[in-house]
Amino acid sequence: MPDASTAADPSTAAEGATPDASTAKPKVIYVLGAHRSGSTVLGVALGNCEGVFFAGELHSWLTRRGLPSFGGESGAQLWRAIAEEVPGAEELFGHDTQLYLDRSSVVYRVHKWPRRRGLRAPYRRIYQDLYKGIARQTGCERIVDTSHYPLRAVELQALDGIDLYLLFLVRDPQGVVDSFSPRHPDSPSKPALVTNAQLWVTHLLCLFAFLRHPVDRRMFVRHEDFLADPAGVLRQILDCTGSAAAIPDLTALRTGSPLQGNRFLKRSDVISLRAPGSPVRRSLLTKVMQLPLKLLFARLSRRRSCGEQRGHDRRPSGR
């Protein structure tokens, strides 16, 4: 969890960019998983690494008509310049792409499927142009998209103009369910049964997108592991994407100019990583409902990261 510290002037978006970032195929680091799983703070940390731009939740780009929620005037200027790189995007401005393509609920709302098919081609074209525009305007070859929707990941897998890397981010379900409890008045609440059911749907769709992706471009990440060893997890992710960037100062992370993300981004331009604050209230219902997924995720977490897997695959086959 982030801890806001003294505000400071954010750096320019292109700081630490690679010289050929504007012409190379963008490397999109897509974080998929459930709501309240820590994707924003992971994105901020990655965005402080050389040559990496934290774009935030880009599924909202069409909904917000390209206008950012954060970053002040400098952020607004950046995103206006990016929007000019995406011709014809106005045709999809609005909520339709979220309702019919991104959200997991569309899988059991059959009446939305025809509209979904009609949106797919322009959606893919616009987002491929968007990623390329971000790379050109920021000078960064690597772009972090924390939209987290698994069905969006499936759509991005069809894009030829980007190199897609998937980070499947999982948080202890007790923490996710508790974050929707009425005891947290600053955020919307949900019944525990509903949240657990939604976790099942989201995680099953995440597994579908994750397991069909090339093994050398995917990585399973536990939120708790990231908080316990942020430098180690960041190193694995950077290695996965072929980046030799140094680990940033984790006590002073610039939030940058993301399009959309967790509301803590509004409180300060600089954050520091710290251990979770208030204890999580655990429930028997969540323990029982999430047990099968817990066992499955335990197997995934024991496997190599994609960076390690790449090195393993390069070794000649033995006997």
pLDDT higher than 80, residue 136: yes
With a CB cutoff of 8 Å and minimum separation 6, the contacts of 311 are none
What whole-number percentage of the chain has pLDDT above 70? 86
Q: Domains of the chain (ranges plus CATH)?
A: 2-310 (3.40.50.300)
Output the CA torsion 118→124→129→133 (10° steps). Answer: 120
Across 224-240, average pLDDT: 95
Question: What is the mean predicted confidence (pLDDT) over 63-76?
Answer: 88
16, amino acid identity: G
Interval 269-317: pLDDT, tens: 888 887 666 678 899 999 999 999 999 999 888 765 575 545 444 434 3
- Identify the weakest region by mean pLDDT among 85-89, 135-139, 162-166, 312-316: 312-316
Percent share of the chain, pLDDT over 90: 67
Condensed to tens digits (0 to 9), the pLDDT of residues 250-263 reads 999 999 999 988 87
pLDDT 10s digits, 16-59: 444 455 567 999 999 999 988 999 999 999 999 999 999 999 99
pLDDT at 84 over 80: yes
pLDDT(231) > 90: yes
Which DSSP state fits 297? Answer: H
Per-residue confidence (pLDDT) for residue 263, from 0 to 100 = 75
- Residue 95 has a pLDDT of 93
Distance CA(147)–CA(170), nearest Å, equals: 14
| pLDDT band per the 50, 70, 90 thresholds, residue 159 | very high
Residue 219 pLDDT greater than 50, yes or no: yes
State the pLDDT at residue 260: 87
The reported pTM is: 0.88
Q: Outline where 216-290 has alpha helix (H).
A: 223-228, 230-240, 284-289
Q: Other CB atoms closer than 10 Å to residue 14's CB: what's the count?
A: 17
> Where do we find the tokens 């929007």?
83
Residue with tokens 């409180």: 267
Phi (first) and psi of residue 279, to 5 degrees: -65, 150
pLDDT of residue 15: 45
**Average model confidence (pLDDT) across the chain:** 86
Question: In this predicted model, which residue has the larger pLDDT, 214 or 14?
Answer: 214
The CB density around residue 216, as the number of other CB atoms within 10 Å, is: 17
Task: Tell me: pLDDT of 248 over 80.
Answer: yes
Residue 308, pLDDT score: 54
CA distance 222 to 233: 9
pLDDT at position 274 is 72
In this predicted model, which residue has the larger pLDDT, 278 or 211?
Answer: 211
Note the pLDDT of residue 110.
87
What residue has token string 């995680």?
A: 203
Paired tokens of 87 = 């011709």
Extended beta strands in 231-291, E state? 253-254, 270-273
Provide the pLDDT for residue 10.
39
Cβ burial of 244 (10 Å; 0-12, 13-18, 19+) is: exposed
The mean-pLDDT minimum among 9-18, 152-161, 198-207, 220-229 falls in 9-18
Give the model's pLDDT for residue 276.
62
Between 124 and 70, the higher pLDDT residue:
124
